[in-house]
Amino acid sequence: MQDPEQPQSGGTPPPEPEPEPMAPPPAEPTMASSEPPPPAPASTPPPVTTSSAAPAAGARPMGVTVLAILAAISGVFAILGGLTIMTAGAAVGAASGSAGFGALSAVVGAVILIEGIAYLGFAWGAWGLKPWAWTLGIVLAAVSIVLGLFSLINGQFSAILTIAIAAAITYYLFTPEVKAAFGRS
């Protein structure tokens, strides 16, 4: 068998392939060119940096979001509890003939109802980063600490947890980034 690249004996060599025609070089731009110059390359945006500094204006810190959700849940349960104490206390007082018990349960239920409304107010204000919500949050935490101290004096040692949570919330609300988020300086 014979190599196809080698010419056959007694024959002519195969013709060589013709080179492809080359494109003419691009014309050099002239001063009288009617085409506008190509646009400048787009500038790259500045690099995104993450820092633990204050959140951007209007950004709600994650802790405030958590506080708002927990306050809304607490507010709903307090309202339901206050209404239950008021109605059940009045019913028990009426059934037993004790007007004092009915009046006491009405007062306690009303206080819990007001507390629930205050927690719902804080939740709504904290969600929207309203400046007054920061003050309401501090007041509610302070009331929780005071009531927790009264409970602790009366021998309810579980009130230590209530005091610790209210103190942590107070500390958190006084951090610079949270105060700035609420528009406080």
Question: For 123-182, what is each residue's pLDDT tens digit?
Answer: 999 999 999 999 999 999 999 999 999 999 999 999 999 999 999 999 999 999 999 999
Angle subtended by helix axes 159-173 and 131-153, to nearest 10: 160
Residue 168 · residue 153 · CB < 8 Å: no
Is the per-residue pLDDT at 36 higher than 80? no
State the pLDDT at residue 60. 92
* CA–CA dist 80, 116 (Å, integer): 8
* Most trustworthy range by pLDDT among 16-25, 31-40, 103-112: 103-112
Q: Which of 88, 130, 92, 91 is nearest to 109 (CA)?
A: 88
Take residue 8 and report the two structure tokens written for it.
């056959």
State the pLDDT at residue 178. 95
Q: For residues 9, 11, 12 and 15, what is the CA-based torsion angle, rounded to 10 degrees?
A: -90
Residue-wise pLDDT for 83-109, tens only, equals: 999 999 888 888 888 888 888 999 999
Q: Which of 82, 157, 70 is nearest to 117 (CA)?
A: 82
Backbone angles phi, psi at 45, to 5 degrees: -70, 155
Is the per-residue pLDDT at 32 higher than 90? no
Residue-wise pLDDT for 42-87, tens only, equals: 666 655 555 455 455 568 999 999 999 999 999 999 999 999 999 9
State the pLDDT at residue 57. 56
Helix locations, the chain, DSSP H:
62-96, 99-127, 131-153, 159-173, 176-181
Is the per-residue pLDDT at 184 higher than 80? yes
Domain spans in the chain, listed from the N-terminal domain onward: 62-181
Q: Which of 147, 78, 145, 81 is nearest to 116 (CA)?
A: 78
